[in-house]
Amino acid sequence: MVVAKKISSELSVLPISQARELSLQSTLGELPLYDFSVRSDMRGGEVAQAFQDNPLLPGVILIEHDRLLGMISRRRFLEYMSRPYGLELFLKRPIKSLYLLANSDSLIFPSDTLIVMAARRSLQRSAELLYEPIVVEIEPTVYRLLDAHQLLVAQSHIHELASQLIHQLYQELEKANHELRSLATADGLTKVANRRRFDEYLDNKWHELAREQAPLSLILCDIDCFKDYNDTYGHLGGDACLQQVAYAISAAVKRPADLVARYGGEEFAVILPNTPAAGAVRVAEEIRMNVKALQIRHINSCVEPYVTLSVGVATMVPEPGSIPIDLIAAADRALYESKASGRDRVSICA
């Protein structure tokens, strides 16, 4: 008779600390396994004593001629012992006789089998065999028992880890998509919205406010004498100027629904939904003063020795059948008026 080392009850349930170390690639060999093998000619009474001494032992492994014969679970062993004349039949007879009568089919996996794969296969068994222990082959002729409950608990932890990983990946994907959308709709130099985003947003707000019959205002801003600025300070200086002007414009636009965009080379636009003309003029004037307050030196300006803005404002209540280009054209006319009147001012389309 061969009896391996007795099993500590501490191995009967997967410790939480160990479960947290599991991963999607964890194998059966990482789980607590029961090391209890007996020779097939061992008497049933001795096996009964082993189960009594180890109340958490899920079964025994039967070895015959140094080879695996099979496995008898505690549940099946006690079931046959409790039958009429079970004690008389099996206590003094070899355990092999009970094994052959029970006709137990053992589920055997190599120790490097993924827990998720073993759990899936285990759950495919019939309801009667669902909680039968699993035989794990550590190496040729060396076997251990794995309690099915431990396997399912481990699978549950792995499933939780997988769910967390999927959630994390989803969040990272959402973040990446948001960044991609931002890159697709933002001006690379000034970081405000680009022309594409401007066109989309204006079109959306136009139709939205047409339904609500609410005012939509548009501000167009043009940096005065910007070509001369580039000629004087170079394109790097011009880029820095555009960045500062964009920041100053954004600082004057407070509401989340308002949009600042780079409309063209040195032109910026501001969309102000639900804003009447008087409110739009106030924002436009604040924008003009913010840029002026920067005191960006411009020695060749035709207006002042620093950078200034010409600003045009238009407000419309969108009508059914009208198009956003009507508002753009009105704001552009107001901008032209500001330039024609000496620049560095705000004009509104009447």
Q: Measure the CA–CA gap between 66 and 33, rounded to whole angstroms.
A: 20
Catalytic residue among 266, 285, 286, 337: 266
> Can you name the residues that pair with 216 across neighbouring β-strands?
273, 316
Q: Does residue 213 come out as left (phi exceeding 0), alpha (psi in the -120 to 50 range) or beta?
A: left
Question: In this structure, what token pair is assigned to residue 89?
Answer: 């039949």
Q: Measure the CA–CA gap between 20 and 7, rounded to whole angstroms.
A: 23
Q: Measure the CA–CA gap between 103 and 101, rounded to whole angstroms.
A: 5
Helix ranges restricted to H, the chain: 16-19, 44-53, 74-81, 86-90, 95-102, 115-123, 148-185, 195-212, 226-252, 277-294, 325-340
- Residues 6+ away with beta carbon under 8 Å from 3: 36, 37, 38, 50
Asked whether 32 and 22 are in contact (CB, 8 A), the reply is: no
Q: Measure the CA–CA gap between 243 and 330, rounded to whole angstroms.
A: 26
Asked whether 247 and 192 are in contact (CB, 8 A), the reply is: no
Annotated catalytic residue 46: no
Half-sphere exposure of 210 (CA within 13 A, CB side): 14
- Catalytic residues, by residue number, are 266
